[in-house]
Chain A
């Protein structure tokens, strides 16, 4: 056991409370002023005609871009702040020694709040195995963490409404839990690289560092700024294309490819989603426009899940710790889960 003491005095100019208060106020004003403002801009200032193809496309763009950006900035700052309290090191301590079911459900749930990026998949995997956490529980976390992420939820909420974001979260959790249980049953421990097993029980347990609120708010804001800056260009392009579809694309065409009448729509969108990995910001606005033209909910959910959870770079990176048969089992489980969710929702919601 190594105990750590972290956090240092930071020199900062205006009082923190003031900065946070003013920013939150400005955010709220912008949130409520956004829709009327974009409407006024489109139809009064630009003088576009209501109901015209071009006018509707521009209105769509001017409404969605600020809305999604505001949601991203607001929600991600808050989520990052919250999840600062749930680092993977702490999650691991909470999961170690639990039963199969509790562990799997717990791992999937923690996946919602813990940060994840492909580059940390390997240290995370090693850390879990090292603490004696079963393979199935580890995979429940590896499925849920990237799939149920705040960017996906914000985009779904901003473009489709809070209901669909919640449905997505529930569906993602289900895929993670069932996937974790299935992988746990397969008994594929022999496909984990030997050096990973050799590390078991040798790790140090780090005690979570007592960070100050200044540290936490500073970190959350720095992370949000960086993330929004990275995805904003894709978002603009995505919403731009979405606006064109919204204004111009014929409903029949989209319905023929992604619509209810095409029984292969779900696998087709999953295939399309694979190379789009981690680019939810650029693709979801397009999907939203398509949905408006008749793409059903299950197909949409499957598309979003495939974008976030089926990641070729992550599969390749995991090769450092597990061998191909297990990677294939992981990929297959996730893909089947996504297809199932897609067909289920298309069947349930007419």
Chain B
């Protein structure tokens, strides 16, 4: 099971990214858990300064932008 983390304090963009991530899980047809990370220390520990950031299995795959559900699904199935 994959773990997807959405990094961001909870602004509109973070919510949109979270929605895309959930959609991507359905698209990719895999088992994955989507978690929101709002703690600034933990966000910084990933090296992300521009939110929202997206982490799949501990690896930062995007930051400062909102990738589409299609793109996220592609990363998930890699």
Contacts and interface: CB of A to CB of B under 8 A. Distances in A.
B47 A124 contact: no
B1 interface: no
B66 A6 contact: no
A28 interface: no
Given A8-B75, A115-B64, A88 B50 contact: yes
Interface residues of A, number: 36
Nearest to B41: A195
A92 interface: yes
Interface string A120-143: 101110111010000000000000
Contact of A122 (B40, B45, B64): B40
Contact of A10 (B44, B51, B71): B71
Contacts of B75: 8
Interface stretch (A174-182, A183-191, A202-210, A243-251): A202-210
A321 interface: yes
B8 A204 contact: no
A194 to B, nearest CB: 11
A92 B45 contact: no
Contacts of B46: 204
Given A119-B51, A204-B47, A88 B40 contact: no
A49 interface: no
Contact of A222 (B8, B40, B66): B66
B22 to A, nearest CB: 18
Given A8-B75, A10-B70, A88 B51 contact: no
A115 B13 CA distance: 13
A6 B44 contact: no
A219 B65 contact: yes
Given A10-B68, A10-B70, A195-B41, A2 B49 contact: no
A209 B62 contact: yes
B70 A130 contact: no
Given A2-B59, A209-B62, A89 B11 contact: no
A22 interface: no
Nearest to A320: B40
A203 B44 contact: yes
A246 B61 CA distance: 51
B4 to A, nearest CB: 15
Nearest to A9: B74
From B10, B51, B64, B66, residue with most partner A Cβ within 10 Å: B64
A199 interface: yes
B64 A87 contact: yes
B45 A199 contact: yes
From B49, B59, B70, B74, residue with most partner A Cβ within 10 Å: B49
A115 B51 CA distance: 11
Given A88-B50, A126-B40, A119 B60 contact: no
Given A8-B71, A123-B49, A2 B44 contact: no
Report the 5 A-B pairs with minimum CB-CB distance, sorted nearest first.
Answer: A204-B47, A127-B49, A119-B11, A126-B44, A88-B49
21 contacts: A4-B61, A10-B70, A10-B71, A84-B65, A87-B49, A89-B64, A115-B50, A117-B11, A119-B51, A120-B50, A122-B9, A123-B44, A123-B48, A123-B51, A126-B49, A127-B44, A195-B41, A202-B45, A209-B62, A218-B68, A320-B40
Interface of A: 2, 4, 6, 8-11, 84, 87-89, 92, 115, 117, 119-120, 122-124, 126-128, 130, 195, 199, 202-206, 209, 218-219, 222, 320-321
